[in-house]
């Protein structure tokens, strides 16, 4: 029985290691298959036409069978996007693209989708600067847990009794799916930390693997956790 148990544990251990080592590769292949599939759907007809014109039928074997090649479609799509980016970088090219965009926005239904998608893409345009101002810690999802969040701006809340309070507009990422929450947090509850926006993004993208060993806060522990005063006295 002992030998069977040891054999079972050894098999499970090897299986676990194999899964851990293969998951990144499997995920990469899966992601590339999606990217190549999308590229083939977008520019596949162009790719097939070019292959039929350039490559003789008797040479259309292997990756070029039936004039189809998702890899070439992906490369062609990259080339088209690069040319489009260069065209838009030209002053008159940008004006022409903006004119076409204005015409698309006027189309009912399609205009709504395009306008919101355009805003999302512009949100991540790094050449225009980061959309976030800084990184802070906030009490989220409840008071005893600290979460890193990105500040996108601030606003003032006016209550019914006439009092006002400044709140920060913060974004809480949820890797790898995107955004977990967009919150209005009182500025007094936001703790500034010595991290750049880029370092904060690396923290989330790496699932907290890329993170400083120590993070200095501009407040005392008992300022953050009022109950610690009684706990310290009890010790």
User: For 153-182, how does the pLDDT look when each residue is reduced to its tens digit (9 = 90+)?
Assistant: 889 999 999 899 999 998 888 765 556 678
Alpha helices (runs of H) in 55-139, residue ranges in sequence order = 70-89, 91-105, 110-123
Is residue 201 included in any domain, yes or no?
yes
DSSP assignment letter at 81: H
| pTM greater than 0.85 (yes/no) | no
**Can you say how many angstroms the Cα of residue 157 is from the centroid of all Cα atoms in its chain?**
30
CATH number for the domain harbouring residue 170:
2.30.30
In a domain, 200, yes or no: yes
Please identify which residue in the block is written with the tokens 């790898």.
176
How many domains does the chain contain in total?
Answer: 1
Compute the average pLDDT of residues 54-67: 67
180 in a structural domain: yes
**Could you list the residue range(s) of the whole structural domain that residue 145 is in?**
131-212
pLDDT at 47 over 60: yes
Domain contains 147: yes
* pLDDT the model gives residue 86: 82
pLDDT in tens, 88-128: 777 788 788 888 888 888 888 777 787 777 766 665 555 55
End-to-end CA gap in the chain: 50
Instruction: Quote the pLDDT of residue 130.
Output: 64
Tell me if 57 is assigned to some domain: no
Q: What angle do CA 224, 136, 165 make, to 5 degrees?
A: 75
């Amino acid at each position: 029985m002992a030998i069977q148990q040891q054999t079972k544990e050894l098999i499970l251990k090897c299986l676990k290691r194999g899964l851990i080592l293969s998951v990144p590769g499997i995920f990469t292949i899966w992601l590339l298959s999606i990217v190549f599939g999308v590229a083939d759907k977008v520019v596949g007809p162009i790719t097939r036409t070019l292959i039929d014109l350039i490559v003789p039928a008797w040479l259309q074997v292997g990756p070029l069978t039936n004039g189809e090649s998702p890899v070439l479609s992906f490369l062609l799509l990259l080339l088209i996007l690069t040319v489009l980016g260069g065209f838009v970088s030209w002053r008159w090219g940008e004006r022409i693209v903006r004119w076409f965009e204005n015409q698309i926005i006027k189309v009912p239904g399609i205009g709504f989708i395009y306008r919101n998608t355009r805003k999302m893409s512009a949100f991540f345009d790094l050449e225009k600067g980061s959309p976030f101002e800084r990184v802070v810690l906030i009490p989220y999802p409840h008071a005893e847990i600290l979460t890193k969040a990105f500040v996108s701006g601030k606003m003032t809340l006016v209550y019914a009794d006439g009092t006002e309070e400044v709140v920060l507009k913060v974004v809480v990422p949820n890797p790898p799916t995107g955004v977990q929450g967009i919150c209005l947090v009182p500025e007094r509850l936001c703790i500034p930390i010595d991290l750049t926006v880029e370092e904060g993004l690396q923290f989330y993208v790496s699932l907290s693997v890329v993170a400083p060993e120590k993070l200095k806060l501009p407040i005392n522990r008992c300022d953050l956790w009022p109950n610690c005063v009684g706990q310290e006295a009890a010790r």
